[in-house]
Amino acid sequence: MFDVVLTNGSEDLVLTFTVRDTNIAKLWFNELSKGYDILEDDRLTDWGEHNYIDELNYHIGVINQYDNVIDRTVSSSSTQEDFNYLHMFFEDLRGEHTAGTPWYNSAPSYVKNAVCEFNILIHNLESSIRTQNKHPTMVVTFKDRLRYELTQLDMDHFTCQWEKGAVYINYCQVGKTVLDVFKDNDTMAAVRPQTHYSADFMVKLGPSTPSLYHQSRMKLLDAWIKDRKFTFENLNIGMIPVADLITTVDEKHLHKFNKVKQVRCIK
């Protein structure tokens, strides 16, 4: 089991999760139990009201003040094509997760942070526009956490039929997964199916995906994949579930909290 402690500065909320009985879930929990310091504590998407447009433009401004490299900002009329175009700048500036580009490696820490926030906010903005009914998610990432290769057996657990309150291993690479490229109709991004895992995780707090909707969507996805003619050994559609929320929580009450204060493991 483990707890995620949310806070708003004056009040805390404890969410308790049980770990699934799969080998990859146990490996992931072992990483979580190492007690890495939290890196991102406010990646709460569709979490009440949020002005992603102003925030994204702010971080574009920070980057451009350092080096005028991004030639577009966003507005309320921006389209998915605009977001796909902007995401290319993140890939080009950031480079591979383990190596980084010379530009990124030589940039001061505040610019590196702006590049990372730039990427997160693009995805948050895409999500908020894509779904009329809000589907809250929480992503927690950790400083200096290790990454490990997924085995073929691990990859068998990938799914995109989301479950309310389920915890999934978060994407810890640079690029876009096949599912994200499909959702965004993106013809520009570097497609990189997830091949590694770390302690980072995402919690889906929206409604579970209905079976009929999932079946219909998979038919569209399968046809799209055949048309794209990918050559990856494993497409790894979706994410790997590793734990489940057991705390009963009211969504309106949940939105009172805006940061992850602590993750504590109970063995």
The pair of three-digit structure tokens given for residue 135, joined into one six-digit string: 């589907």
- pLDDT reported for residue 133: 58
Contact of 176 with 190, CB cutoff 8 Å? yes
Residue 130 confidence (pLDDT) above 80: no
- pLDDT reported for residue 131: 61
Element (H, E) at 137: strand 137-142
Look at residue 167 and give its three-state secondary structure.
strand
Model confidence band, residue 50 (pLDDT cutoffs 50, 70, 90):
low
Residue 236 confidence (pLDDT) above 90: yes
Query: 133 versus 5: which is more confidently predicted?
Result: 5
- pLDDT reported for residue 124: 78
C-alpha–C-alpha distance, residues 110 and 114, integer Å: 6
pLDDT > 70: what percent of the chain? 96
- Of residues 52, 71, 48, 49, the one with CA closest to residue 61: 71
Instruction: State the pTM of this model.
Output: 0.78
Mean pLDDT estimate for the chain: 90
Residue carrying structure tokens 């809000």: 134
C-alpha–C-alpha distance, residues 4 and 13, integer Å: 8
Residue 58 confidence (pLDDT) above 90: yes
Q: What are the strands of the beta sheet with 166-169, ordered from one edge?
A: 38-45, 137-142, 201-204, 166-169, 241-245, 12-19, 2-7, 259-265
C-beta neighbour count of 104 within 10 angstroms: 17
Domains of the chain: which residue ranges? Answer: 2-265
